[in-house]
Amino acid sequence: MIVVDGLRKSIRNGARTVDILRGLDFSVPRGEFVAIMGASGSGKSTLLGLLAGLDTPSAGNVSLNGTAISYLPEDRLAQVRGKTVGFVFQSYQLIPTLTALENVLLPHELNADSDADGLPRARQLLTSVGLGDRMDHYPVQLSGGEQQRVALARAFVLHPPIVLADEPTGNLDTTNGAHVLQLLLELNRSEGTTLVLVTHDPMLADYATRRIVLRDGLIVSDERSPARPEPALSASAAVPVGG
Amino acid sequence: MHASRGKFLFVLLSVAIGVAALTGVRGFSASFRTSLLLRARSIMAADLAARMGQQPTPGQLKALEDVRATGVVETTVTETMSMASSPKSPDPILVALKAVDPALYPFYGQVELAPAIRLQTALGPHSVAVGDDLLLRLGLHVGDDLKVGGQIFRISATVVNEPDRLSGAFAAGPRVFISRESLASTGLLAPGNRASERFLFKLPPSPDGRPGSDTAVEALKAKLVAMLPDAQVTDYRETNPALTQGLDQATSLLSLMSLVALVLGAVGVAMAMRAHLRQRLDTIAIMKSLGARSSQIMKIYLLQTLLLGLAGGVLGVLFGAGVQLAFPLVLPKTINIPTDFLIQPRAIAVGLFAGVLTTLLFTLPPLLDIRSVRPSLILRRDTESEGSAETVGIFTHFVGRLPWLLIAFIVTLFSVRIVQHRWPGHGLALMLEAVCLFAAAAFGPWLAIKARKNPWQIGAFLLILGGLAVIATALSETPLAPDAPRVGEVFSVGLVLVLLILLGASAGVLAALKFFLNHTRLHLPSSLRHGLANLYRPGNPSAALLAALGMGVMQIMTVFLVQQAVVSQLHITAAPNLPNVFLVDIANSEIDGMRKLLKAQPGITAEPELVPLAASRIEAINGVPAATANLRNFSRRMLRSTQLTWSDAPPAGTRVVAGAWWKPDESRPQVAISQRMAERLGVTVGSTITFAAQDSHIDATVVALTSANGQHVFSRADYILPHASLSSLPIIWDGGVHVDPARVSQLQRALYQAYPTVTIINVAQTIETVRTVVLQITYVIQFLAGFSIFAGVVILASSIAGTKYRRLREVVVLKTLGATRGRIAGIFSIEFAVLGLVAGVVGIFFANLIAQTLLHQLNVAYDAHWLLNLGTLAGTAVLTVVTGWVASHRVLGQKPLEVLREE
Ligand SMILES: Nc1ncnc2c1ncn2[C@@H]1O[C@H](COP(=O)(O)OP(=O)(O)OP(=O)(O)O)[C@@H](O)[C@H]1O
Ligand SMILES: [Mg+2]
């Protein structure tokens, strides 16, 4: 459950103040799949960053599952992020010195306060994104699509209630993009997570149950629509491409 | 934009600190050394002296004339004994007459008179200057008359300080200074008079006032030795070995430090430029994809580098000048360092040049990397390196370069040596070397193409090495260290070896760790695993950083170890209790009373040194009668008056250099003899010398050769025997005491009242000069070493800090995944600690090795300081970790989104 309340973000740039987000209010119930759309520069990434606690708002508040996160101290925030939010970046952002398996395991190691072994979970996730035989490979040894699949597995490893994704398919070709998206939706459904996805692609947004459109830092439309079935997948896309 | 300004500043600072250290150390030591060299010579009042027992032959006079024709200035000092009396009283006393040409004598130092008039004024045709003990004994005053050799002279002044008092004869009787003309007029120099002649020589000074170089001194010495076979030729270095040794050590150390400063600066620049260009890879890829050619891009960065090097150089020169100006302020008031620390244009030029050149040289490899940047980089940023094959890559790179490194090094070393020997002191060596190196640089790539290695990189490598060698040679060719080429050699050998070994060791350790990591990965605690894995971050120059760190640690540690050993030796030399007043001719019957009297004197601050002396002559050497013995540069006449003494152990200030001392109750006749005398007599351990005293003969076996530091009374006796051998001979004593300089005249009066026949030679002033000079050396050394070490630490720290930009993104990702700052700091700490420890171990090991070699050459004892070494190791690790933290501090505190945006 995400609650956004009077969210503002402005940046002082020399003498000028740029208002990036100018007062947003909305809430996302548990399990919903929201697509955020809007022209370039409309504030989508900024919003997503605030939702994940990667930045502090100028005014207003964000609360995740009842915890107001916006003004927490940095280290507390890190804990909330680790346990509550999975993040998928446009440019994957894997740790280059760690293997695929270690990358997926990382959130577990950073956050787990239980002794539960994260290994089976990490292995299972990697297998489910089709990388069961690439676990010991380093990010540089994987193609972009494969790296993004590792990133997906990493985002889901701790069963986060919320997953945020900023143009996760933006760097990928259509086939790979579709594959990643399909995996994302699958995981979202099987894990029952709340998913917020930033995208430019209207087709992609069609799969969402709700669509929020930003313009100049304001919500200009927020409508729910029946979700479309998942994208059909050509057989070839399951095979690693472009390595 | 913000970050890139920081990086520029960082390159700039690295250059600046390196150049500052270089100009500071060099400018400083160049001017300081000049004044030290002059001071050291003042103890002899000349560069060289030749002492003869008789008048030179016409042939020798002609040869001396030839020497003068080469620009060498010569003046003769005649010392003789004579009777002198007051016209008022009939009782004459024995005086030590010293006839000089006041227009020339002394070449170095000054004769201080009271009243403070010039020596030339004091020694007129009818006037003399005398020791104040003469006034005391004859009851005279300045202005009174003195009768010497039948002539009447007016006493124009008393002698307060005579610079070469220690190197002249220690004759009994008060000093009387007289001009040579006046001495001639007294008729005292009639044939048969036992006068000793000392020829003093001064080499033409360099245009900027520096005295003749030691090579020139050596050359003249050799010439004089050949010319005057029965003269004792000594150079200024032998008068007070302790002082000149200190000077040598200081010189070597200073040149070592300036080399270290240079290399550390270069390391800083290399690391900074590497980080800078890595950061620019994207830009370069974009430019390439827009159609820019490699050469165009390289030109841009070359210009940038040049500007950075120049700006850093200027900044460094300013800073270095500031350090020089500030130095006198941090000294104790009592240590009056000569204030001619003017900023030397030459030092500035060298500093700037070295700064720009090292910057350029060390930017070359990353610049050449531009050629291999593929435009596709913008598409796949993470693929910028060969990935996990990184370690292997470094290793093969390194092995591939090894032969070239060695070849370049050997070529360099040999060319330097040959050229330096052929044409010492010329810029020729430099030019030739530059040619050699450029040839090597051109030749290397060609060979490398054959070997299918990256030709440009090998060429660059050769060029760096060669450039460094050129700079190092340039530095040690100039006034700084004309006499200490060995330091440069030891240092370059050490540097190259260590560089090779460090690179090898780093690659090896990294490979071993990698192996370990790969086999234990998932069983390790995650922070440890992650920290170790970070050593293999793509584009993370772990091996390079390790080598840089290790080299830095090695250099800093070497400077520290050598500095410490040299300074502690110098402190012995400059001990405050050395004898500064000598007592000559104490009768054996007076010695107990003398001991008591000395004990009662308030001004005497150390145990008096009293040496028993037995007059004797040498009858035979190895059975060959003295009359036919083969002597080297020693007057046969001197064999007729030798002084023997006894001691159960090597006396203070005397060192056994060959053989061994006898046991305390030795009854066989044995003798320890100074090494210098042994050479003159042609004896060695095992030879026999037959001494004759009164009616007895002593056939003594030479059991030990000694070397004395010239600071103690015992060094006045060339022959030391066991007590038993001398027990039957008549003995007189000489003594040396340390007296508070202000109380010398008080002591003089007391001694004169009790023992009027004992001669007192006051060298308090000279000893004080030596002491201050040596103390000055230690202060300068410590200050400059401190500065070099500080600069080194700063540069190393900034090298580590320079890697932070590579860490930015990782921090952000980790934060996004929920890592706390503590956790991230933990991961980095492991990475840094491993780097620090490995670099520390290797660096410290080699520092000890190099320090040991250097100290051995400098004749200074080396001690392994285990605690110090361990401390340094811990310090290195802590420094790396703390610097890592400090550098990452801002990164850790940043909001993740800001960083993601900066990409
Ligand atoms: N640190 C900053 N300084 C100045 N302006 C900023 C800063 N951060 C964001 N902005 C501005 O805020 C606006 C919104 O940026 P944001 O990245 O959120 O847009 P976006 O909707 O994600 O665009 P895109 O679709 O191109 O990714 C942009 O105009 C951007 O220039
Ligand atoms: Mg965006």
pLDDT profile of chain B (903 residues), mean per 10: 57 75 69 72 86 80 87 89 83 88 89 89 91 86 88 91 76 86 81 77 80 82 85 80 71 70 68 68 71 77 83 85 72 55 67 75 68 57 36 40 53 56 50 52 47 54 62 52 51 62 71 80 76 69 71 81 82 76 87 90 84 89 86 77 87 86 88 88 91 87 85 77 87 87 83 84 78 76 75 71 68 82 84 85 84 77 84 88 77 69 53
**Stronger pLDDT, A131 or B280, i.e. the higher one:** A131
Least Cα distance to B787 among B14, B4, B134, B17 occurs for B17
CATH code of the domain containing A189 = 3.40.50.300
Mean pLDDT computed over every residue of chain A = 84
- Please identify among residues 119-158 of chain A the ones whose CB lies closer than 8 Å to any CB of chain B: 119, 138-141, 144, 154
pLDDT of residue B450: 43
- Which pTM does this prediction carry? 0.67
pLDDT of residue B449: 45
Q: Which ligand is nearest to the CA of B897?
A: 1
Does residue A188 sit within a domain?
Answer: yes
pLDDT of residue B789: 74
Structure tokens at B572: 């012995």
Q: Which ligand is nearest to the CA of A213?
A: 1
How much is the average pLDDT of A9-29?
A: 88
Give the residues across from A212 on adjacent strands. A36, A222
CB contact (8 A) between residue A102 and residue B521: yes
Mutate to test the pocket of ligand 1, among A44, A56, A171, A201 (most ligand atoms within 8 A of CB): A44
CB contact (8 A) between residue A141 and residue B388: yes
> Could you write out the three-class secondary structure of B11-65?
HHHHHHHHHHHHHHHHHHHHHHHHHHHHHHHHCCCCCEEEEECCCCCHHHHHHHH
Does residue A107 sit within a domain?
Answer: yes
- Do B583 and B595 meet the contact criterion of CB atoms below 8 Å apart? no
Least Cα distance to B832 among B535, B524, B391 occurs for B535
CB contact (8 A) between residue B819 and residue A110: yes
Does ligand 1 have an atom closer than 6 angstroms to the CB of B450? Answer: no
How remote is the CA of residue B818 from the centroid of ligand 1, in Å?
24
pLDDT of residue B379: 47
Does residue A243 sit within a domain?
Answer: no
Does residue A84 sit within a domain?
Answer: yes
- Predicted confidence (pLDDT) per residue in A142-162, tens digit: 888 899 999 999 998 888 999
Structure tokens at A6: 């009077």
Counted domains in chain A: 1
| A180-194, A226-240, B26-40, B493-507: the lowest-pLDDT one | A226-240
How remote is the CA of residue A57 from the centroid of ligand 1, in Å?
14
CB contact (8 A) between residue A78 and residue B820: yes
- Nearest residue (by CA) to ligand 1, atom 10, is A20
As residues whose CB is below 5 A from the ion ligand 2, the structure lists A 45
Write b or e for each residue in B144-180: b if 16 or more Cβ atoms lie within 10 A of its Cβ, otherwise e: bebbbbebebebbbbbbbbbbbbbbebbbbbbbbbbb
Give the residues across from B81 on adjacent strands. B96
From the list B530, B538, B816, which residue is nearest A81 (CB)?
B816
> How far away is chain A from the Cα of B401, in angstroms, using its nearest Cα?
27
CB contact (8 A) between residue A83 and residue B521: no
CA torsion B826→B827→B833→B835, rounded to 10°?
Answer: -160
Query: Looking at ligand 1, which atom is closest to the CA of residue A167?
Result: 27
Query: Looking at ligand 1, which atom is closest to the CA of residue A20?
Result: 12
Chain B residues in contact with A52 (beta carbon < 8 A): 816
How remote is the CA of residue B896 from the centroid of ligand 1, in Å?
15
- Nearest residue (by CA) to ligand 1, atom 18, is A43
Contact with chain B for residue A47, Cβ under 8 A = no
Chain A residues in contact with B526 (beta carbon < 8 A): 105-106, 109-110
- Which residues, 6 or more positions from A85, have their beta carbon under 8 angstroms from its beta carbon? A51, A52, A53, A64, A160, A162, A163, A164
Strands B127-130 and B93-100: unpaired
Q: Residue A21 and residue B752: Cα distance in Å, rounded?
A: 102
> How far away is chain A from the Cα of B903, in angstroms, using its nearest Cα?
11
> Could you write out the three-class secondary structure of A108-170?
HHHHCCCCCCCHHHHHHHHHHCCCCCCCCCCHHHCCHHHHHHHHHHHHHCCCCCEEEEECCCC
> Could you write out the three-class secondary structure of B372-396?
HCCHHHHCCHHHHCCHHHHHHHHHH
Q: Residue B605 and residue B581: Cα distance in Å, rounded?
A: 12
CB–CB contacts below 8 A, A to B: 101
Chain A residues in contact with B891 (beta carbon < 8 A): none
Least Cα distance to B337 among B787, B783, B776 occurs for B776
How remote is the CA of residue B802 from the centroid of ligand 2, in Å?
30
Q: Is A18 helix (H, G, I), strand (E, B) or coil?
A: strand
How remote is the CA of residue A87 from the centroid of ligand 2, in Å?
14
Q: Residue B286 and residue B290: Cα distance in Å, rounded?
A: 6
Q: Residue B786 and residue B261: Cα distance in Å, rounded?
A: 12
Q: Residue B428 and residue B418: Cα distance in Å, rounded?
A: 11
Domain range holding A143? 2-237
